[in-house]
Amino acid sequence: MVGSAGQRAFDSDEQVAASPIGSSHRVGMADLPLGPWAGAVVEAVVRKSGRVWHADPDCSQRPARVETSSYRQPDTGSLQDLVLPENLHCNPPGELGAYRRAANRLLEYDAETCGAEDRLAAGGLSLGLLDERLQHGDHDLEAVLASGELAAVWAVVRQRRNGLLVALRDAADSGSERLAVMVLADWVRSGRTRREHQPRYTEFLELAVERLERHRLAQGGADRQIANTWLPDWLVDVSTGTAPANATARLVGQVVGSADVRASHDVPAAVTKKVWTSVGRAWESLLTKLAGEYPGDIVAVFH
CA dihedral for 117, 138, 130, 236, sign (positive or negative): positive
Residue 156: closest CA among 109, 99, 119: 109
In 3-state terms, what secondary structure has residue 18?
coil
C-beta closer to Zn ion: residue 29 or 59 = 59
List the alpha helices (DSSP H) in 77-175. Answer: 94-121, 139-147, 151-173
Least separation in angstroms between residue 53's CB and Zn ion is 8
C-beta closer to Zn ion: residue 61 or 174 = 61
C-beta closer to Zn ion: residue 55 or 114 = 55
In 3-state terms, what secondary structure has residue 88?
strand
User: Residue 235 class from Cβ within 10 Å (0-12 exposed, 13-18 middle, 19+ buried)?
Assistant: buried
C-beta closer to Zn ion: residue 69 or 147 = 69
C-beta closer to Zn ion: residue 62 or 119 = 62
Residue 252: closest CA among 267, 240, 238, 269: 269
Residue 99: closest CA among 30, 20, 32: 32
Residue 124: closest CA among 11, 236, 238: 238
Least separation in angstroms between residue 61's CB and Zn ion is 5
> Cβ(143)–Cβ(55) under 8 Å?
no
Residue 249: CB atoms within 10 Å:
14
Least separation in angstroms between residue 73's CB and Zn ion is 19
CA–CA separation, 261 and 276 (whole Å): 11
C-beta closer to Zn ion: residue 46 or 205 = 46
C-beta closer to Zn ion: residue 55 or 120 = 55
How many helices (H) and strands (E) are present in the chain, helices listed first?
11, 4
Q: Which residues sit at the interface with Zn ion, rule CB under 5 A?
A: 54, 59, 61, 89-90
Strands 66-72 and 88-90: unpaired
Least separation in angstroms between residue 71's CB and Zn ion is 15
> Cβ(32)–Cβ(65) under 8 Å?
no
Least separation in angstroms between residue 65's CB and Zn ion is 15
Q: What share of the chain is helix, strand, coil (3-state, %, to 5)?
A: 60, 10, 30
Least separation in angstroms between residue 5's CB and Zn ion is 42
How far is the first Cα of the chain from the last one, in angstroms, to the nearest whole number? 28
Least separation in angstroms between residue 99's CB and Zn ion is 18
Least separation in angstroms between residue 97's CB and Zn ion is 11
C-beta closer to Zn ion: residue 46 or 209 = 46
